[in-house]
Structure formats: C-alpha cells, structure tokens
Amino acid sequence: MPRPWRLLLLLQGGLLLVGTSGALLLGLPLGAGHPVRDPLLALGLLVALGGLEALFQHLFPTSFREAEALHRELLRALREAGTGPPALLLLALLSGVAEEVFFRGLVQSLLFLKLGAWAVVLQALLFALLHPAPRKAFAYPLYTGAAGLLFGLAYLLTGSLLPGILAHILHNARGFYQAWYGS
C-alpha cells in the first residue's frame, strides 16, 4: 500500500490535473499575476487567515482543539510512515497550487459564467465540504469555507490565482511546521 503522503500527493496532483486541464479546455481564465499587487495581497490573505484562526479558536475553543488534534494525528501517521519535512513542504506547495487552480480557477470560473458573484460562495461551500471533519471538529470545515471565501474574493477582484496560491502555500507550510515541531 502506498505511503499516506503519497496518497495525499496523488490526490492533490489529480486536482491540479483536472483543474488545469478543465480550465484550459474550456478557455477559462487562470489569470496573469501582477508582480507587486499579488504578493502584497497574498500577505494580506495570510494575515486574514491568521486572524480567522484566532477568531475560530476564540469562538469555538473545544471544536478548534478537536480539529488541531486531527491535524496532529495526521502528522503522526505521516511521520510513522517515514514522511519528513521535505515531503510536507512538497505537499504544502502542491496543495496550495492544486486547490487554488481547481476550486478558484475551474470551479469558481465555471460557476461564475452562470451565477455571477454567487460562484464565490458556492465554490467556498464545496471547498469546505471537501475538507470534512468529525462533528466534534465542526470548526474545521467552517474555517475552510471562510478561507475559501477569502481566496475566491481575491480571485474575483484581481482575476489572478497568484495571491491565493501564495497565501495557501504559506498557510499550509506554517501549519505543517507548527504541527511537526509542536509549536
């Protein structure tokens, strides 16, 4: 059986392949980046995600602790399977790119053609549904839905996936680092 991190990489690779292929075949805009605006917006998104985490930790402390315990359990399983920081960094990179290309680049763009700005809400809902958690950790899908709204709004307002990709990669890498080193 493949190691757990390889399954995660395959899943993210599949999202990237489907998202990119679908967007290209359908002629959907993946968006060109702006060299100054996009990195600055990415930092703003990263700060907003940190604020969102703090808010969820304050509003739903028990559920937030449950979600953190799930992440620690995932990291424990990955560590036992021989995964180290380089593979986790690769996973953070691939998941940030793949999820933004798939959810914002393909799903949001397709929905936008029919629904306009409601596409941002619907792709965020789908993003949350595909980040499930047990009932006790309900704050996790709520958080991912709110993060999906932020990423979707950034794409809607700029037409560029780059701010979301950069923020998503950095957010995931920070989460992996904190869980791995126990901070």
DSSP assignment of 97-134 = HHHIIIIIIIIIHHHHHHHTTHHHHHHHHHHHHTS---
Q: How many domains does the chain have?
A: 1
Alpha-carbon distances, residue 46 vs 20, 39, 43, 50, 175 (angstroms): 24, 10, 5, 6, 12
Structure confidence at residue 1 (pLDDT): 40
**Is residue 3 over pLDDT 90?**
no
Q: Which pTM was predicted?
A: 0.93
Classify residue 44: in a domain, yes or no.
no
Classify residue 39: in a domain, yes or no.
no
Average pLDDT along the chain:
92
pLDDT (tens digit per residue) in 132-162:
999 999 999 999 999 999 999 999 999 999 9
Classify residue 112: in a domain, yes or no.
yes
Structure confidence at residue 42 (pLDDT): 97
Classify residue 21: in a domain, yes or no.
no
CA 50, 52, 53, 59 dihedral sign is positive
**Is residue 27 over pLDDT 80?**
yes
User: SS3 helix, strand, coil % of the chain, rounded to 5?
Assistant: 85, 0, 15
Band of pLDDT at residue 15, cut at 50, 70 and 90: very high
Classify residue 146: in a domain, yes or no.
yes
Classify residue 20: in a domain, yes or no.
no
Band of pLDDT at residue 183, cut at 50, 70 and 90: low
Whole-number Å distance between alpha carbons of 182 and 17: 33
Provide CB contacts within 8 A for 124, sequence distance 6+.
145, 146, 147, 148, 149, 151, 152
What's the domain range around 63? 49-181
Closest-CA residue to 158 (of 52, 26, 48, 45): 45
Classify residue 100: in a domain, yes or no.
yes
Whole-number Å distance between alpha carbons of 121 and 119: 5
Give the helix/strand (H/E) hosting 85.
helix 85-99
Classify residue 58: in a domain, yes or no.
yes
Whether the CB-CB separation of 153 and 120 falls below 8 Å is answered with: yes
